[in-house]
A and B are shown apart, each in its own frame.
Chain A
Amino acid sequence: MTGEPVLAVRDLSAWYGAARILYDLAFEVGRGEVVALMGRNGAGKSTTMKSIMGMIAKKSGQVTFRGRDITSLKTFEIARLGMGFVPEDRRIFSDLTVLENLDVGRQPPRMIEGTAQTEAWTPERLFALFPNLGQMPDRLGNHMSGGEQQMLTVARTLMGNPLLVLLDEPSEGVAPVIVEQMAHTIVELKKQGLSILLSEQNINFAELVSDRVYVLEKGQIHWQGSMAELSGNIDVQRSFLTV
Chain B
Amino acid sequence: MTIDALLFQALNGLAAASGLFFVAAGLSLIFGVTRIINIAHGSLYMLGIYLAYTFATRVGGVLGFWGGIVAAALIVAAIGALIEILLLRRIYRAPELFQLLATFALLLVINDAALWIWGPEDLLGPRAPGLRGAVEILGRRFPSYDLFLIAMGPIVLIALQLVLTRTRFGRLVRAATQDREMVGALGVNQAVLFTSVFAVGAFLAGLGGAMQVAREPANLLMDLTVISDAFVVVVVGGMGSIPGAYLAAIIIAEIKALCIGIGVVEFGGFRVNFSKLTLVAEFIVMAVVLIVRPHGLLGRAQGAIRSVAEPEEPIRPATAALKFLGLVVLGLLICLPLFAKTSPYTLVLGTDILIAIIFATSLHFIMGPGGMHSFGHAAYFGLGAYGAALIVKFLAAPMLGAIAFAPLLALAGALLFGWFAVRLSGVYLAMLTLAFAQIVWSIVYQWEDVTGGSNGVVGIWPAAPFNTATNYYLLALAFAVLSVLLLRRMLFSPFGYAMRAGRDSPLRAEAIGIDVKRVHWVGFAVAGCICGLAGGLFAFAKGSISPETIAVGRSIDGLVMVLLGGIQTLTGPIVGAATFVMLQDTIMRQVEYWRALLGATILLLVLVFPAGIVGGIMARYAAWKSR
Provide the bound-state CA to CA distance between A156 and B175, in Å: 12
When C-beta atoms are compared, the residue in chain A nearest to B310 turns out to be A57
What per-residue 1/0 map shows which CB atoms of B243-275 lie under 8 Å from chain A?
000000000000000000000000000000000
Q: For the side of the interface on A, what is the size category? A: 20 to 34
**A96 on interface, CB distance cutoff 8 Å:** yes
Contact yes or no, B185 A85, CB < 8 A: yes
Inter-chain contacts of B190 with A (CB < 8 A): 76
Contact yes or no, A103 B168, CB < 8 A: yes
**B188 on interface, CB distance cutoff 8 Å:** yes
Contact yes or no, A76 B184, CB < 8 A: yes
**B130 on interface, CB distance cutoff 8 Å:** no
What per-residue 1/0 map shows which CB atoms of B125-153 lie under 8 Å from chain A?
00000000000000000000000000000
**A190 on interface, CB distance cutoff 8 Å:** no
Give the contacting residue for A107; candidates B174, B177, B187, B311; CB below 8 A: B187
What per-residue 1/0 map shows which CB atoms of B169-181 lie under 8 Å from chain A?
0011011011101
When C-beta atoms are compared, the residue in chain B nearest to A58 turns out to be B310
What per-residue 1/0 map shows which CB atoms of A103-144 lie under 8 Å from chain B?
111110000000000000000000000000000000000000
Contact yes or no, B185 A87, CB < 8 A: yes
Contact yes or no, A79 B178, CB < 8 A: no
Contact yes or no, B185 A103, CB < 8 A: no
**B395 on interface, CB distance cutoff 8 Å:** no
When C-beta atoms are compared, the residue in chain A nearest to B179 turns out to be A91
Contact yes or no, A17 B310, CB < 8 A: yes
Provide the bound-state CA to CA distance between A79 and B189, in Å: 10
**B465 on interface, CB distance cutoff 8 Å:** no
Main secondary structure of the interface of B (DSSP, over half): helix
- A93 with B174: in contact, given A16-B311, A17-B310, A57-B310 (CB under 8 Å)? yes
Q: For the side of the interface on B, what is the size category? A: 20 to 34
When C-beta atoms are compared, the residue in chain B nearest to A161 turns out to be B187
**A95 on interface, CB distance cutoff 8 Å:** yes
Provide the bound-state CA to CA distance between A160 and B183, in Å: 12
**B182 on interface, CB distance cutoff 8 Å:** yes
What per-residue 1/0 map shows which CB atoms of A73-95 lie under 8 Å from chain B?
01110011000010100010111
**A55 on interface, CB distance cutoff 8 Å:** yes
When C-beta atoms are compared, the residue in chain B nearest to A82 turns out to be B187
Separation in Å of the A53 CB from the closest CB of chain B?
6
- A76 with B178: in contact, given A17-B311, A103-B171 (CB under 8 Å)? no
Interface-centre pick from B168, B183, B185, B187 (highest chain A CB count, 10 A): B187
Inter-chain contacts of A74 with B (CB < 8 A): 184
**B494 on interface, CB distance cutoff 8 Å:** no
When C-beta atoms are compared, the residue in chain A nearest to B193 turns out to be A76
- A156 with B186: in contact, given A93-B178, A96-B175 (CB under 8 Å)? yes
When C-beta atoms are compared, the residue in chain B nearest to A16 turns out to be B311
Q: Chain A interface (Cβ within 8 Å of chain B)?
A: 16-17, 53, 55, 57, 74-76, 79-80, 85, 87, 91, 93-96, 100-101, 103-107, 156-157, 159-160
Q: Chain B interface (Cβ within 8 Å of chain A)?
A: 168, 171-172, 174-175, 177-179, 181-190, 303, 310-311
Please give 6 more A-B residue pairs, beta carbons under 8 A apart, in addition to A76-B190, A79-B186. A76-B184, A76-B185, A95-B174, A96-B178, A103-B171, A104-B172
